[in-house]
Protein backbone atom coordinates (compact mmCIF):
# COMPACT_ATOMS: atom_id res chain seq x y z
CA UNK A 1 0.00 0.00 0.00
CA UNK A 2 1.48 3.35 -1.01
CA UNK A 3 1.47 6.61 0.95
CA UNK A 4 -1.28 8.11 -1.22
CA UNK A 5 -3.65 5.28 -0.26
CA UNK A 6 -2.75 5.54 3.43
CA UNK A 7 -3.46 9.28 3.30
CA UNK A 8 -6.79 8.65 1.59
CA UNK A 9 -7.76 6.03 4.20
CA UNK A 10 -6.75 8.38 7.03
CA UNK A 11 -8.89 11.15 5.49
CA UNK A 12 -11.85 8.80 5.22
CA UNK A 13 -11.50 7.50 8.78
CA UNK A 14 -11.06 10.96 10.30
CA UNK A 15 -13.66 12.62 8.09
CA UNK A 16 -16.14 9.79 8.52
CA UNK A 17 -15.68 9.72 12.27
CA UNK A 18 -16.26 13.44 12.68
CA UNK A 19 -19.14 13.56 10.20
CA UNK A 20 -20.79 10.61 11.96
CA UNK A 21 -20.32 11.82 15.54
CA UNK A 22 -21.12 15.39 14.55
CA UNK A 23 -24.40 14.35 12.91
CA UNK A 24 -25.17 12.23 15.94
CA UNK A 25 -25.02 15.41 18.02
CA UNK A 26 -28.00 16.72 16.02
CA UNK A 27 -29.91 13.53 15.24
CA UNK A 28 -29.09 11.25 18.22
CA UNK A 29 -29.06 8.00 16.24
CA UNK A 30 -26.25 6.37 18.26
CA UNK A 31 -26.93 5.30 21.84
CA UNK A 32 -25.01 7.33 24.40
CA UNK A 33 -22.85 5.14 26.65
CA UNK A 34 -23.04 5.74 30.40
CA UNK A 35 -20.46 8.25 31.60
CA UNK A 36 -19.03 8.95 35.06
CA UNK A 37 -20.73 11.73 37.05
CA UNK A 38 -17.91 14.25 36.55
CA UNK A 39 -18.07 13.76 32.78
CA UNK A 40 -21.87 14.10 32.80
CA UNK A 41 -21.64 17.30 34.86
CA UNK A 42 -19.09 18.79 32.48
CA UNK A 43 -21.11 17.89 29.38
CA UNK A 44 -24.31 19.20 31.01
CA UNK A 45 -22.64 22.53 31.75
CA UNK A 46 -21.50 22.88 28.14
CA UNK A 47 -24.95 21.88 26.90
CA UNK A 48 -26.58 24.46 29.18
CA UNK A 49 -24.80 27.29 27.41
CA UNK A 50 -27.17 26.76 24.49
CA UNK A 51 -24.55 27.47 21.84
CA UNK A 52 -21.56 25.27 22.52
CA UNK A 53 -22.76 21.87 21.32
CA UNK A 54 -24.45 23.15 18.15
CA UNK A 55 -21.24 25.05 17.28
CA UNK A 56 -19.05 22.07 18.11
CA UNK A 57 -21.16 19.57 16.18
CA UNK A 58 -21.52 21.89 13.16
CA UNK A 59 -17.72 22.28 13.13
CA UNK A 60 -17.27 18.50 13.32
CA UNK A 61 -19.74 17.85 10.49
CA UNK A 62 -18.28 20.59 8.27
CA UNK A 63 -14.66 19.53 8.79
CA UNK A 64 -15.58 15.86 8.39
CA UNK A 65 -17.32 16.53 5.08
CA UNK A 66 -14.36 18.60 3.88
CA UNK A 67 -12.05 15.68 4.62
CA UNK A 68 -14.35 13.18 2.95
CA UNK A 69 -14.59 15.42 -0.12
CA UNK A 70 -10.84 16.09 -0.19
CA UNK A 71 -11.49 19.84 -0.11
CA UNK A 72 -9.62 22.36 2.06
CA UNK A 73 -7.98 19.50 3.97
CA UNK A 74 -5.47 21.70 5.86
CA UNK A 75 -8.32 24.00 6.95
CA UNK A 76 -10.37 21.01 8.13
CA UNK A 77 -7.40 19.66 10.08
CA UNK A 78 -6.86 23.08 11.67
CA UNK A 79 -10.52 23.26 12.72
CA UNK A 80 -10.40 19.76 14.18
CA UNK A 81 -7.14 20.14 16.13
CA UNK A 82 -8.58 21.99 19.17
CA UNK A 83 -11.68 19.79 19.07
CA UNK A 84 -9.48 16.68 19.25
CA UNK A 85 -7.37 18.12 22.08
CA UNK A 86 -10.53 18.62 24.12
CA UNK A 87 -11.96 15.20 23.24
CA UNK A 88 -8.70 13.54 24.30
CA UNK A 89 -8.57 15.60 27.54
CA UNK A 90 -12.24 14.86 28.29
CA UNK A 91 -11.69 11.13 27.96
CA UNK A 92 -8.27 11.08 29.63
CA UNK A 93 -9.49 12.94 32.72
CA UNK A 94 -13.24 12.33 32.93
CA UNK A 95 -14.24 9.22 30.95
CA UNK A 96 -11.19 7.03 30.23
CA UNK A 97 -13.24 4.06 29.03
CA UNK A 98 -14.07 6.03 25.87
CA UNK A 99 -10.45 6.81 24.99
CA UNK A 100 -9.77 4.25 22.19
CA UNK A 101 -11.81 5.97 19.45
CA UNK A 102 -10.35 9.44 20.15
CA UNK A 103 -6.86 7.94 20.03
CA UNK A 104 -7.59 6.52 16.56
CA UNK A 105 -8.90 9.93 15.47
CA UNK A 106 -5.82 11.65 16.93
CA UNK A 107 -3.55 9.24 15.04
CA UNK A 108 -5.39 10.12 11.82
CA UNK A 109 -5.12 13.84 12.56
CA UNK A 110 -1.39 13.62 13.25
CA UNK A 111 -0.71 11.49 10.18
CA UNK A 112 -2.67 13.87 7.94
CA UNK A 113 -1.02 16.94 9.50
CA UNK A 114 2.35 15.37 8.66
CA UNK A 115 1.18 14.48 5.16
CA UNK A 116 0.06 18.08 4.54
CA UNK A 117 2.98 19.65 6.42
CA UNK A 118 3.91 21.93 3.52
CA UNK A 119 0.54 23.67 3.86
CA UNK A 120 1.22 24.30 7.56
CA UNK A 121 4.81 25.54 7.14
CA UNK A 122 3.86 29.24 6.78
CA UNK A 123 1.83 29.11 10.02
CA UNK A 124 4.79 27.70 11.90
CA UNK A 125 7.23 30.52 11.11
CA UNK A 126 8.18 32.61 14.15
CA UNK A 127 7.92 35.88 12.24
CA UNK A 128 5.91 36.63 9.12
CA UNK A 129 5.45 40.02 7.53
CA UNK A 130 1.89 40.88 6.49
CA UNK A 131 1.13 41.67 2.90
CA UNK A 132 0.61 45.42 2.47
CA UNK A 133 -0.95 45.27 -0.93
CA UNK A 134 -4.70 45.37 -1.45
CA UNK A 135 -6.45 42.64 -3.42
CA UNK A 136 -6.84 43.69 -7.07
CA UNK A 137 -10.58 44.58 -7.06
CA UNK A 138 -10.21 46.70 -3.90
CA UNK A 139 -7.10 48.44 -5.23
CA UNK A 140 -8.95 49.33 -8.47
CA UNK A 141 -11.95 50.77 -6.57
CA UNK A 142 -9.66 52.77 -4.29
CA UNK A 143 -7.79 54.22 -7.26
CA UNK A 144 -11.00 55.15 -9.13
CA UNK A 145 -12.53 56.74 -6.00
CA UNK A 146 -9.41 58.87 -5.51
CA UNK A 147 -9.58 60.19 -9.11
Q: Where are the domains of the chain?
A: 3-146
Indicate the pTM of the whole model. Answer: 0.86
Give CB contacts under 8 A, 24+ apart, made by 33-42: 33/97, 33/98, 35/94, 35/95, 35/98, 36/94, 36/95, 38/94, 39/90, 39/94, 39/95, 42/90, 42/94
Query: In the prediction, which pLDDT does 132 show?
Result: 80
Q: What is the mean pLDDT of residues 135-140?
A: 66
Angstrom distances, CA of residue 137 to CA of 21, 22, 143, 146: 41, 38, 10, 14
In tens, the pLDDT along 8-50 reads 999 999 999 999 999 999 999 999 889 999 999 999 999 999 9
Cα–Cα distance, 128 to 34 (Å, whole number): 47
Query: In the prediction, which pLDDT does 130 show?
Result: 86
Residue 101: pLDDT band with limits 50, 70, 90: very high
In tens, the pLDDT along 60-76 reads 999 999 999 999 999 99
Cα–Cα distance, 69 to 47 (Å, whole number): 30
- Residue scoring higher pLDDT (22 or 134): 22
CB 86 within 8 A of CB 43: no
In tens, the pLDDT along 109-132 reads 999 999 999 999 998 899 988 888
Please check the confidence at residue 52 and state whether its pLDDT lies above 70: yes
Residue 131 φ/ψ region, left for φ over 0, alpha for ψ in the -120 to 50 degree band, beta for the rest: beta
Amino acid sequence: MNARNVTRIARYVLGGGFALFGLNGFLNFLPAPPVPPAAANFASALFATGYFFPLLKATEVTAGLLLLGNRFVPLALTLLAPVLVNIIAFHAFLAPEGLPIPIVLLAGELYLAWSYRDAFAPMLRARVEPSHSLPEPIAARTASAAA
